[in-house]
Structures are given as structure tokens and as C-alpha cells.
């Protein structure tokens, strides 16, 4: 495995996965544009190393995890499921029934102990080859990127933020963006649900200043570990050691009582004071929208240490696919065995990229009894980071949840809107902008499993389907009846061929809405000529209905289930348009990310 970032970059270059950019580039937008081009290229493009960054003497590396080939190389596996298989060896250990069996577990226990972080030693660690404190601290020397035109400023986007519980002394490492305010202060954007925020609250209650350290440019396994949703109190450096198959070497900071990876490229040391906040944001986020400005704690930097010739590691987030999609895919595969220890009926699951990880998950289960799918849905909403998931779709174990075409076919052939859908309320990711209220709102569970004895029969019967529906007639009808209509498409026409009966026909509709979503839904459901359409999805007029990935991204991001679904007599209208006061949405609707400043407003 790689002991540091530069070893990994050398391996990427040797394998043809790295492009060196030698011409001068600006950290203001330009690096982001070039990175975005690679991220949107076939198979995630290449990693980039910008050697000549305007205003800084330090090079910048981006998109280093942004493909399946690079993320597997980063973590030392051929396939991500190999990590899950290693985890499963520990989660499936049976309690020993004899002394002989107990003895057989000793080697595995010793192996686990070998993953714990270790002290670097007495020598000067690489991350402290250069030390600047006090008046010498200047964050302006770092090539921190401004990623999107409407960002509030430059943001550190790949920081490993080290904190400790004031109560237990246990370490947490999280990844929270940091807006650079001036030469020695940044924002500390830890969400209220995160462990860093929880530990900060402990210091706030005690009225004490909280020490914080930030590593930038660690070895790839350690960087990934900072993104992993581990249970509170579990040290992410143990996970990094598990992935690396060797411990992370740590060293003490210069000005605070904290340990950081000794081979990090940069380390920022400092503190956060209770009661001190500053307006942070907006920021172009991984949802593909700007997260709105809000008050967040301030991080005061007391020291900057770095290697002699450090490499600044950054990431760009935005509309998928991006580099963070591959990091999230690691979490999906790695945490499956852990989830199965709680819910063994789960066979597999899939987080589509278009759902930006917290908006939808498709789960395959071994169904055994009536209501089993709803037991899983409600159970998942009570499990750690899964609690933030807005939509959960359950399928049978013989369905590959990663097969989008098959899952789409189940919506057309099996879904009974009145009996197979449950809508409730719960916690939401702080970045969810569709809910009328922040942090809390509507959730939807959808059961696409086959019915078993004891479950109510389908309420909506299958109906004959004319596979040659006249779309021109449909468009003429909508132009007459629906104010603002511009276009429509039947997205599941591919699954209709060869079938005489289906339960649902789906119609995507472009509309320039001047009425509320519910008023538009009432119109659609009242059109007699469209009675064979049972699922309508409304999108803003500029959404390309033929770009399936883009359409799904809009659908998963822009819908609050309890407000934006209108269900009548087994038919439903889903409003995936931009919301405003006419929809009962008083919060500011965020701007979509674009490099074209004219379109950003």
C-alpha cells in the first residue's frame, strides 16, 4: 500500500492514469473547469497534477480517486467488494464453543490489533519539515481553490479534520469543507448530525476552546477513511489501517494536543471557540446546487506545517459523476456487511449516483413474510447515515438492484401506487433543498417486491397497453389543457414492447409553471385522454427529458415526497420542478451549478 500521497501519484503516472499540467493555471475556477472536464469524460478521465499554479509555489492534485481503476488502486484491491469480503470475515465470526475454537480466533484478533495507529517515532516527521507559527501563518500561500463562480470564496475541499471528545478522549476524523476567510481563519462546516459537531457541543457546554487539526494530502486510504460514516467513538485511523493492512503512523502537533498522519503534505493546527460563528457559504456542493450561506464556527490557525515540497490535494464536487461518487461507492460496498449484521435479509443495495448518496437507495431482500419490505424500510431509516436517505426502494433478492433497466421495469409492471408506497417524515441531510423545512421532512418508501400470502391484493389492476401511443396527440392535448406545457416523453416505452398488459405508464412532462404544483397535478389527472397514464413527472422546461441521468438527478433532488406527490385513484403526479412560495416553499431555492456566470443567476 501507499505510505503517502506522492507514492500514489507516482503509481498513477506509471499506470497512465495521471496527466501533468505544466502551463500556468489559476486556482480561481480554471482548475475546477479542467477537473470537471476529466470527471465527465469516459470512465472518469484522468487524475490531474497542476505543476504551475498562479499565486502559489505548491502544485495541486485533483481527481485522484475519480474512476473505478484509480479508486481500486488507491485502496489496494482489484474490486471494491474485496474490502467487503475482508469485513465479512470479522462480522461473521461465530462465538467459540470450545477452547480449540477460541484459540483459532487469536491470529485474527492479533491481525485486527495490527491496524491500530502507531507513533511515528523520534525522528522529525515529514509533515513538519517546514513549521510556521504565529505571525508567519498565512493561508494565502496555499493554492486553495474557488471551485464555482458563486462560491463565497476559496474553500479547502479535501481536509481531514481531527478532533477529540472532551468526555471520552476518543478521536474523530471527518471531512468538512473549510472556507478561507483570511490569512489565519476559516469556516468549520460541520453539520449538526456529524461527530465533529457533537464533540464541539461538548466543549461549548463546558465553555472550553476546542483544539482542531487538519491534514491535507494524506495517503489515499487515510483520506477515504475521513469520509466513512463510522459509528461515533470508532477511530477512522483504525479503518485506514484495516484498508492499508498496516497502521497509520501518527505524530504530535506543534501547538495543540492532537495527533495527525506523519506523512501528510500539509497540517493546519488551531482551535475553535464556542459562541464564535461567521457567515459561511454559499458553496457549490455535491448535490449539483449551491448550499446556502449560514452561520458556522470559526477555525483559528495557530500553525501551518508541511513537507519540503508539498502537494496540495483538492477535490471538485458538483453534478454527478464526480470524484466523490467513487469515494461514496467505496462506502456503499464496504458497509454492506456491517448493515447485514443488523438486517441479514438484505442481499445487496445500490445508491445511484444521481441520488447523490443520500436521496435514494435500492435494496434487494430475501422476503419471508407480509410487510417484510416495510420492516426493512423503517429499519434502515433508524440506522446511522441511512437515516438521512429520502427514498428507499425494496426489490426481491433475485433482482440486481444495480440493474436500472430492470428496476424501471418493475415500476411499470408491479407498482401499485396506493398500496406499495409509504410516506413519512424524518431527518434529512442538511444539503437537501427540496424540503419546506431544513434538516427534517418527507421520506418515501416503495415496495416493489412480489406479494406473498397475507398481503393485501393489488388495488390497481393491470390494464391493456397500446404500445403505439400517439405522442403527437398527447402533446396536442397537453398544449390545450396544461398552461405552460412545452414537451413530454414516455421514458419506459422500452419496457412496454412485447407486453400486452402493464400496471403503469409513465409520462415525463416539461412545463413552464405559473401555477402551483398541486394545481398542475389536478389538471393532468383530470384529462380524460390521458387516463392510461398512471404516473406523471413534471420537470422545468429547460430539463432535457431525453437525458436519463440528468432527469433522474432532478427527480431525486427536487422532490419532497409529502408535498410533491399527488395521488388519486391509483395514479400519481410527481412535481420535480423548482419550488417557490406558490408551492408552500418559503426557503430560498438554490442555484444550479454552472461555470457560465450568466446562467448562474
Residue 348 vs residues 334, 343, 366: alpha-carbon distances, Å: 12, 11, 10
285 is catalytic: yes
User: Whole-angstrom Cα distance, residue 243 to residue 218?
Assistant: 14
CB count within 10 Å of CB 16 equals: 9
CA–CA distance, 127 with 137 (Å, rounded to integer): 16
Q: What share of the chain is helix, strand, coil (3-state, %, to 5)?
A: 30, 25, 45
Q: What is the DSSP string of 426-463?
A: EE--TT--SSSSTTEEEEEEEE-SPP-TTSPPPSSPPE
Q: Is 107 exposed, middle or buried (0-12, 13-18, 19+ CB in 10 A)?
A: exposed
> Residues near 155 by Cβ (< 8 Å), separated by ≥ 6?
144, 145, 146, 147, 177, 178, 179, 180, 283
Residue with cell 485522484: 64
List helix spans (H) across 207-322.
Answer: 220-225, 236-244
- Cα distances from 79 to residues 226, 287, 325, 353, 523, in angstroms, run 21, 26, 16, 18, 49
Marked catalytic residue, from 4, 195, 285, 416: 285
Please state, in angstroms and rounded to a whole number, the distance separating the CA atoms of residues 590 and 601: 10
Q: Residue 444: which of 422, 429, 428 has the closest Cα?
A: 422
The helix (H) or strand (E) run that includes residue 226 is none
Task: Assign 324 to helix, strand or coil.
Answer: helix
Is residue 58 within 8 A of residue 310, CB to CB? The reply is yes
Cell numbers at residue 14, please?
Answer: 506509471
Q: Phi and psi for 29 in degrees, rounded to 5?
A: 75, -40
Query: Which one-letter DSSP state was computed for residue 269?
Result: E
3-class secondary-structure state, position 564 = helix
| C-alpha span between 531 and 536 (Å, rounded) | 11
Angle at 231 between CA 226 and CA 233, to 5 degrees: 85
> Strand 60-62 relative to strand 312-313: parallel, antiparallel, unpaired?
parallel
Parallel, antiparallel or unpaired: strands 249-252 and 118-119: parallel
Contact 225, 278 (CB under 8 A): no
CA nearest to 435, candidates 377, 496, 388? 388
> What's the rounded Cα separation, in Å, for the pair 572 and 442?
16
Q: How far apart are CA 307 and CA 305, in angstroms?
A: 7
Q: Which three cell numbers stand for residue 59?
A: 502544485
DSSP 28: B
Q: Give the CA distances from residue 210 to residues 166, 178, 272, 450, in Å, rounded to whole numbers and listed in that order.
A: 8, 16, 5, 53
Task: Give the three cell numbers for residue 344.
Answer: 441479514
Contact 537, 571 (CB under 8 A): no
Tell me phi and psi for residue 205, to 5 degrees.
-65, -35
Active site positions, annotated? 285
Amino acid at each position: 500500500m501507499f505510505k503517502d500521497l506522492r507514492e500514489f501519484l507516482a503509481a498513477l503516472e506509471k499506470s497512465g492514469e495521471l496527466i501533468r499540467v505544466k502551463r500556468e493555471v489559476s486556482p480561481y475556477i480554471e482548475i475546477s473547469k479542467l477537473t470537471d472536464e476529466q470527471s465527465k469524460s469516459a470512465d472518469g478521465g484522468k487524475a490531474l497534477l497542476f505543476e504551475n499554479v498562479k499565486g502559489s509555489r505548491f502544485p495541486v492534485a485533483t481527481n485522484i480517486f475519480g474512476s473505478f481503476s484509480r479508486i481500486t488502486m488507491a485502496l489496494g484491491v482489484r474490486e471494491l467488494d474485496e474490502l467487503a469480503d475482508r469485513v465479512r470475515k470479522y462480522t461473521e465470526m461465530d462465538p467459540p464453543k470450545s477452547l480449540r475454537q477460541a484459540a483459532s480466533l487469536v491470529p485474527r484478533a492479533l491481525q485486527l490489533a495490527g491496524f491500530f495507529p502507531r507513533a511515528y517515532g523520534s525522528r522529525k516527521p515529514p509533515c513538519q519539515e517546514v513549521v510556521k507559527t504565529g505571525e508567519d501563518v498565512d493561508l494565502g500561500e496555499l493554492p486553495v481553490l474557488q471551485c464555482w463562480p458563486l462560491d463565497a470564496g476559496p474553500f479547502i475541499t479535501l481536509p481531514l479534520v481531527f478532533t477529540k471528545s472532551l468526555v471520552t478522549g476518543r478521536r474523530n476524523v471527518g471531512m468538512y469543507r473549510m472556507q478561507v476567510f483570511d490569512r489565519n481563519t476559516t469556516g468549520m462546516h460541520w453539520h449538526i448530525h456529524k461527530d465533529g459537531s457533537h464533540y464541539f457541543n461538548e466543549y461549548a457546554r463546558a465553555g472550553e476552546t476546542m483544539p482542531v487539526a487538519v491534514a491535507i494530502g494524506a495517503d489515499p486510504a487515510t483520506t477515504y477513511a475521513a469520509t466513512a460514516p463510522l459509528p461515533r467513538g470508532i477511530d477512522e485511523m483504525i479503518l485506514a489501517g484495516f484498508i492499508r493492512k498496516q497502521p497509520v503512523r501518527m505524530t504530535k502537533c506543534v501547538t495543540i494536543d492532537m495527533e495527525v498522519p506523519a506523512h501528510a503534505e500539509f497540517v493546519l493546527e488551531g482551535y475553535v471557540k464556542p459562541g464564535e460563528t461567521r457567515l459561511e457559504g454559499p458553496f457549490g456542493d455535491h448535490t449539483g446546487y449551491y448550499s446556502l450561506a449560514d452561520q458556522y464556527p470559526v477555525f483559528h490557525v495557530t500553525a501551518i506545517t508541511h513537507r519540503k515540497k508539498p502537494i496540495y490535494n483538492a477535490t471538485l464536487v458538483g453534478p454527478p459523476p464526480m470524484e466523490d461518487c467513487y469515494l461514496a461507492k467505496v462506502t456503499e460496498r464496504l458497509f454492506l456487511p456491517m448493515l447485514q449484521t443488523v438486517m441479514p435479509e438484505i442481499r445487496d443495495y445500490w445508491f445511484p449516483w444521481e441520488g447523490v448518496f443520500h436521496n435514494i437507495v435500492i435494496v434487494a431482500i430475501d422476503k419471508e413474510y407480509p410487510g417484510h419490505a416495510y420492516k426493512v424500510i423503517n429499519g434502515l431509516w433508524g440506522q446511522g447515515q441511512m437515516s438521512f436517505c429520502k427514498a428507499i426502494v425494496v426489490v426481491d433478492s433475485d433482482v440486481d438492484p444495480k440493474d436500472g433497466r430492470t428496476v424501471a421495469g418493475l415500476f411499470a409492471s408491479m407498482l401499485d401506487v396506493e398500496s406499495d408506497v409509504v410516506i413519512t417524515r424524518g431527518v434529512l441531510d442538511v444539503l437537501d433543498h427540496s424540503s419546506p423545512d431544513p434538516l427534517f421532512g418527507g421520506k418515501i418508501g416503495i415496495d416493489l417486491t412480489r406479494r406473498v400470502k397475507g398481503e393485501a391484493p393489488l388495488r390497481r389492476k393491470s390494464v391493456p397497453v397500446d404500445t403505439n401511443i400517439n405522442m403527437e396527440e398527447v402533446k396536442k392535448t397537453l398544449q390545450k389543457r396544461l398552461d405552460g406545457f412545452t414537451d413530454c416523453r414516455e421514458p419506459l416505452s422500452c419496457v412496454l414492447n412485447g407486453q400486452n398488459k402493464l400496471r403503469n405508464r409513465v409520462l415525463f412532462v416539461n412545463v413552464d409553471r405559473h401555477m402551483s404544483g398541486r394545481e398542475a397535478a389536478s389538471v393532468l389527472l383530470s384529462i380524460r385522454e390521458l387516463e392510461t397514464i398512471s404516473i406523471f413527472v413534471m420537470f422545468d422546461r429547460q430539463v432535457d427529458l431525453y437525458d436519463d441521468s440528468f432527469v433522474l438527478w432532478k427527480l431525486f433532488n427536487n422532490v419532497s415526497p409529502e408535498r410533491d406527490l399527488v395521488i388519486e385513484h391509483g395514479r400519481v403526479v410527481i412535481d420535480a420542478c423548482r419550488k417557490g412560495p406558490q408551492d408552500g416553499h418559503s426557503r430560498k431555492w438554490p442555484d444550479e451549478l454552472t461555470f457560465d456566470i450568466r446562467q448562474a443567476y
